Amino acid sequence: MGKVLSEESLSSQIRLLQKDGKKVVFTNGCFDLLHVGHVRYLKAARELGDCLVVAINSDDSMRALKGNERPIIPEEQRVEILAALSCVDYVIIFQELDPFRLISLLQPDVLVKGGDWAPEQIVGREEVEARGGKVLSLPLVEGIGTSTIISSILNKYAKSSRNSSKDPIKS
C-alpha cells in the first residue's frame, strides 16, 4: 500500500490505526514550492502522533484561494514530493477551499496548522475537540514562506534582466 490513497481507503486505514491505539495527526495546506519551513513543520507535526496525514489543496482550489498564478507546482508533483518525505505517512488531495469535509470523514486525533493560524481559526477544530482530540498551531520558521520565496525569485530575475539589458557585454 502506498502513501497516496483514496478517501475511502485512507479512512479505513485510519480506523485500523486508531483501533490499534495509534494517534493520527492531520494537517493541510497548499505546499507549493516545498521549503525548509514546510519540512520542519511536517517533522514537528509527525512527532505529535504515530501517523501523519497531509491533505493538499487541489490545483483548482489553490487557484481559488491564491489567484491564477498559483500553483507553481502541479498537484501530482506536490503529492509525489510530500509522499517522498519519511515524516509523511499519507497524502491526499482535496477539492474544496477548506478541509472541513475531509477532517469530518477521517476523524484525526490531532489537527495542526502553522503558527499563522490561531487554534480557534483552524477549520475542523470543533469536530476534533468534540471527539477528545487536540488542535495545535505550530511555530513557523521566521522569514521563510512560499510567497517570500516567489517574491525573492521575481526580484532577483527582474534585477538580472535589467542589468543584462544595460550591459551589452552580458548579452
Can you list the domains of the chain with their CATH numbers?
Answer: 7-141 (3.40.50.620)
With the C-alpha atoms ordered 40, 44, 50, 54, is the resulting torsion angle positive or negative? negative
Please tell me the pTM assigned to this model. Answer: 0.87
Q: Provide the residue-wise pLDDT of the chain in tens; the chain has 171 residues.
A: 699 999 999 999 999 999 999 999 999 999 998 999 999 999 999 999 999 999 999 999 999 999 998 999 999 999 999 999 999 999 999 999 999 999 999 999 999 999 888 888 999 999 999 999 999 999 887 777 777 777 878 888 877 666 665 544 444
Where do the H-state alpha helices sit in 93-145? Answer: 100-106, 125-130
